[in-house]
Structure 1
Amino acid sequence: MSKLVILDRDGVINYDSDEYVKSVDEWQPIPGSIEAISELCKAGFKVTIATNQSGLARGYFQQSDLDQMHDKLHLLLEKQGGSITQIEFCPHGPDDNCSCRKPLAGMINTILSSHPDTAPGDVFVVGDSLRDLEAGISAGCKPLLVETGKGKKTLATGGLPSNTIVCKSLSDALDTIIQLT
């Protein structure tokens, strides 16, 4: 059985922006996140990403811009000895009635179906918003909220699922994920 973790992108791996992360120059990793992903890989985890990218539907950036951001992520991870096994993204806007946009579990289910030897209950879904956690729970995964990105605001609003683990950052979540998986 393989060990798997599913990460949200903006606010978990890289800094988020209310104006959207629109270019490779705007895509900047949160300190410690690249190293944390690399450490998860070294501990035998397959690290994947499920991210809403409605900026595509809104015309704020193009597919080529998103590809460049992900290329930058892959390059930074490669230098640290880590990798991302799979990236699923929802290009739709909130009114498009798709099945992939979080809080729906479409992207997470796609990732889980790519790893049939992994039980969903053994998988952490790490996010900075309630919709990340809800998507993970809908797919049967374990929710973990990080306080980076919109995480502190999410925590302050209350109403988190009762089994949610809260960590300051992806870097701080590293030991928890390894110990509890």
Structure 2
Amino acid sequence: MLFDRDGTLVVDVPYNGDPARVRPMPTAADAVRAVRAHGVAVGVVSNQSGVARGLLTRRQVEAVQHRVDELLGDFDVWAVCPHGPQDGCRCRKPAPGLVLAACRRLAVDPARTAVIGDIGADLAAARAAGARGILVPTPATRPAETAAAEESARDLLAAVRLALGGRPPSGAAL
């Protein structure tokens, strides 16, 4: 299962390069723990355009990643796009590159993968990769994104439960 970072796993602090400012979203720890209890690999797919904009260094992005790992447990894969919106890369969400790269590194078929995020770009990346997208709206989520979402949940734990479909732990990749 793949998660967006900012606004989904952790509180969105724009261009955060300070690990001390990392705070898990409500239910994030329980949600990630539930996925792991099912034997499902967990990863993060995150746009970090602050690198391209000169607001963050890769080292700062990695320091924040390490803090997220400390708070929520080590993720099996981190796929991060350091490019800006104008760079035309294939990895930046809503393009499928991050999702596809994470799935390759996890040796999981995108069609058997759920991507959980808080904005339309997260769901568009999932759809473009052939994965399932589940929206967890926040105040930053535009009403049109919420209306367009095929699946949504009130919080991260509810999204994980939706993705797992109430199945008992099986080791299947989602």
Q: TM-score range by the shorter chain?
A: 0.7 to 0.9
Distance 2:139 2:28 in 1: 12
Q: Helix, strand or coil: the match of 1:70?
A: helix
* 1:29 counterpart = 2:19: no
Name the structure 1 match of 2:157.
Answer: 171
Distance 2:86 2:136 in 1: 27
Name the structure 2 match of 1:142.
Answer: 132
Distance 2:29 2:78 in 1: 15
* 1:160 counterpart = 2:148: yes
One of 85, 88, 91 as aligned partner of 2:76 = 85
Q: Helix, strand or coil: the match of 2:67?
A: helix
Q: Is the 8 A contact 2:26 2:155 kept in 1?
A: no
One of 74, 82, 87 as aligned partner of 1:96 = 87
Identity rate, percent: 28
Q: Helix, strand or coil: the match of 1:21?
A: coil
Distance 1:65 1:113 in 2: 25
Q: Residues 2-81 of structure 1: matches in 2 within 5 Å? A: 5-17=1-13, 19-78=14-73
Runs of 4+ in 1 over 3 A off after TM superposition: none
Distance 1:149 1:34 in 2: 21
1:31 is displaced (CA, Å) by 2.1
Read off the aligned partner of 1:23 and give its amino acid letter. Answer: D
TM-score (norm 1): 0.84
RMSD, aligned CA: 1.7
Higher strand share: 1
Count residues in correspondence: 166
Distance 1:16 1:106 in 2: 22
1:141 is displaced (CA, Å) by 0.5
Q: Is the 8 A contact 1:22 1:55 kept in 2?
A: no
1:121 is displaced (CA, Å) by 2.0
Distance 1:34 1:70 in 2: 15
* 1:106 counterpart = 2:97: yes
Deviation digits for residues 136-172 of structure 1, max 9, x if unmatched?
Answer: 0011011100023623x3xx125515xx211111122
Q: Is the 8 A contact 2:117 2:135 kept in 1?
A: yes
The answer to which of 103-112 and 25-34 deviates more is 25-34
Structure 2 spans left out of the alignment, 5+ residues: 167-173
Q: Is the 8 A contact 1:7 1:126 kept in 2?
A: yes
Q: Helix, strand or coil: the match of 1:131?
A: helix
The answer to which of 49-58 and 29-38 deviates more is 29-38
